[in-house]
Amino acid sequence: MRALFDLVLPRRCVACGRGELALCGLCRAELRPLRPPLCARCGTPTAWPVERCSECAGRRIAFRAARAAVGYDRTARALVLGWKERGLRRLADEAAAFVAEALARPDVEALAYVPGDGERLLWRGHNTAEELARALGARWELPVVAALARTGRAPRQRGRGRVERRANVRGAFRPRGETPRCVALVDDVYTTGATANAAASALRKGGARAVDVVTFARTLRVAA
């Protein structure tokens, strides 16, 4: 079936449209790995090592630390959009490979993921956060648990400012089932941290003592 699908719709690089790979070598080389110095808490690139940067200082943050593999630039955005909006689910393995190469295996009991919104999940037919979590779970030999559920439908985050995003997802998640005491929350992109913080808060309410956040990409803002 996969061979027939690739014959009818042959593989092309999601970023440039050339080649026969999901992400060609040239575009792969354009991805920007996130390396120190980083904010110890939210993982944003900084001019020098800091415990809390200007992006997360003064905020109540429910997660212990957040880390991403690459910056959310043109190439990373093309990969995520192809994966999320065009249904190219094989890109989950591409993203997981970058994460596993860039980030150390987290010292946690299990991986959880940000649950998809009902309508968008039905339209897309898959949840990128769950797919990434399961691909990482296989690489890191960690169980994946459905520890969160949505409390209702939230408006889209895209196009909203930082303050709007926080208000938009406040109370959007609830714990589901038994929550591991130490868990890593997986999502595709860390933008302002609003979704990650709301989901981590729900995990903490469910009994988690420590929550780390792991994403494929994050929006880049140089913070100090």
Q: Give domain status of residue 133, yes or no.
A: yes
Distance CA 11, CA 196 (A): 32
Residue 89 and residue 15 in one domain: no
pLDDT tens profile 61-94: 999 999 999 999 999 999 999 888 787 888 899 9
Task: Supply the range of the domain harboring residue 123.
Answer: 32-154+163-218
Residue 60 and residue 117 in one domain: yes
Residue 202 and residue 148 in one domain: yes
Position 135 scores a pLDDT of 97
Q: Give domain status of residue 224, yes or no.
A: no
Position 6 scores a pLDDT of 43
Residue 22 and residue 48 in one domain: no
Residue 79 and residue 42 in one domain: yes
Residue 128 and residue 170 in one domain: yes
The model carries a pTM of: 0.87
Residue 18 and residue 57 in one domain: no
pLDDT higher than 90, residue 120? no
Q: How does DSSP classify residue 45?
A: B
Q: Give domain status of residue 10, yes or no.
A: yes
Residue 21 and residue 58 in one domain: no
pLDDT tens profile 168-178: 678 889 999 99
Quick one: average pLDDT of 12-35? Answer: 89
Residue 163, classified by CB atoms within 10 Å of its CB into exposed (0-12), middle (13-18) or buried (19+), is exposed
